[in-house]
Chains A and B, each alone.
Chain A
Amino acid sequence: MATLDVQVVAADHAVWSGEARSLTGRTVEGDIGILPGHSPFLALLAQGDLTIEPVEGPTVKAYVKGGFFSVDSDKITVVADEADVTD
Chain B
Amino acid sequence: MGAQIRVYRQKIASTSSMKKIFKAMELIATSRVGKARSRAQAASPYAEAITRAVSAVASQDDVEHVLTEKANNPQRAAVLIMASDRGLAGAYSTNVLKRSESLLARLRQDDIEARPYLYGRKAQAFYDFRDREYDQVWTGQTDSPSVERAREIGKTLVDQFVEPVESGGVDEIYLVFTEFKSMVTQEPVVKRLLPLSVVESEETSGAGPMPLYDFEPSPEEVLDALLPRYIESRIFSAMLEASASELAARQKAMKSAADNADELIRKYTLLRNNARQAEITQELTELIAGADALASS
Contacts and interface: CB of A to CB of B under 8 A. Distances in A.
A70 B52 contact: yes
A43 interface: yes
Interface in A22-72: 27-29, 32, 39-44, 67-68, 70, 72
Secondary structure type dominating chain B contacts: helix
Contacts of B212: 40
B56 A67 contact: no
A11 B147 contact: yes
A13 B40 CA distance: 9
B213 A40 contact: yes
A79 B217 contact: no
Secondary structure type dominating chain A contacts: strand
A9 interface: yes
A3 interface: no
Contact of A44 (B147, B211, B225): B225
A81 B154 CA distance: 14
B53 A68 contact: yes
Given A9-B46, A81-B229, A41 B53 contact: no
A77 B216 contact: no
Contacts of A12: 39, 42-43, 46, 147, 236
Given A9-B49, A11-B43, A44-B216, A68 B147 contact: no
Interface string B230-272: 0011001000000000000000000000000000000000000
B2 interface: no
A51 B221 CA distance: 25
Interface residues of B, number: 27
A68 B52 contact: no
Contacts of B221: 44
B211 A29 contact: no
Contact of A41 (B46, B49, B216, B233): B216
A77 B49 contact: yes
Given A29-B216, A43-B216, A44-B216, A79 B49 contact: yes
Contacts of B147: 11-12
B56 to A, nearest CB: 7
A14 to B, nearest CB: 5
B42 A70 contact: no
Contact of B42 (A13, A32, A39, A77): A13
A85 B57 CA distance: 28
Nearest to B232: A11
Given A44-B222, A77-B53, 13 more contacts: A11-B43, A12-B236, A13-B42, A13-B43, A14-B45, A40-B214, A41-B214, A41-B215, A42-B57, A43-B216, A70-B49, A72-B56, A79-B53
22 contacts: A7-B45, A9-B45, A11-B236, A12-B42, A12-B43, A14-B42, A14-B46, A28-B217, A29-B217, A41-B215, A41-B216, A42-B57, A42-B214, A42-B216, A43-B215, A43-B216, A44-B221, A68-B53, A68-B222, A70-B52, A72-B211, A72-B213
Interface of A: 7, 9-14, 27-29, 32, 39-44, 67-68, 70, 72-73, 77, 79, 81
